[in-house]
A = this chain, B = another copy of it.
């Protein structure tokens, strides 16, 4: 009844007998409770957050719904094990384009073991975390042809540093995503996915306002998941993409103790700046290659057909 999630882009995966999350057909996501303190910390967070009445509703929607824990058959064949039961964010989607971005220039926290701190410290310096305040952990983007999907391997994603991060953020909203990091993404869907009053940028700004104020949780090593439905963006269709932002991975959340999460906030502001620039630098887009109705405005012709076709 439970199966391996098709659209997972980062984290442990339940493939080849490994332990990883599972989903069912009713929109639930079963995440194995890690046996070390990470499992108990993530459960503590969900329990605390669920019952915290000071979380505004417009912020709560950025978090997966928590349905408690349940014993289910683990994906590695080790028998029935406790799993967190969460909302399956990609449920109901046909072609979800998903990007997992780990936020913060620092992924460790003072209370962790020295060994853990040193491993994180090294990784933060090797990836874009230190320089940009965030790093890409994984992504999948559907292309225009049926069943074409760009889902770079972990080792490719690891090399996404420096200016390549900007490129990947463009490819995420392009009709021609490509393994070739030197390619020129068309940014066709930038305005409909990143832009608008309900787009990803608007949602990230809502989150930012909350992070400027909340001093309850420090979201160490937590990710922002950006998601939109490619099927709603076909050549004939325009309009809403139901773009969504979610926060995921709370195994390292610590208490805020009256201090804002300045590490998460700084990284979030950096991501916001990158996305704002993709939206406001039209010179760097290549609308000629786009097939959407909205492009007709850029290339007006008497019969209303886009000249670029």
Contact = CB atoms under 8 A, between A and B. Distances in A.
Interface of A: 105-106, 110, 125, 130-133, 163, 166, 212-213, 215, 258-260, 262-263, 265-267, 269-270, 272-273
A265 B259 contact: no
Contacts of A260: 133, 269-270, 273
Given A212-B272, A265-B266, A265-B269, 7 more contacts: A131-B259, A132-B262, A133-B263, A260-B269, A260-B270, A262-B266, A266-B267
Number of copies: 2
A262 B133 contact: yes
Contacts of A125: 110
Contacts of A266: 262-263, 265-267, 269
A133 B263 CA distance: 8
Contacts of A110: 125, 130-131
A131 B108 CA distance: 12
Nearest to A211: B269
Contacts of A106: 105-106
Which 3 interchain pairs have the tightest Cβ spacing? A266-B266, A262-B266, A133-B262
Contacts of A269: 212, 260, 262, 265-266
A267 B262 contact: yes
20 contacts: A110-B125, A110-B130, A110-B131, A131-B259, A132-B262, A133-B259, A133-B260, A212-B273, A215-B273, A259-B273, A260-B270, A260-B273, A262-B267, A262-B270, A265-B265, A265-B266, A265-B269, A266-B266, A266-B267, A266-B269
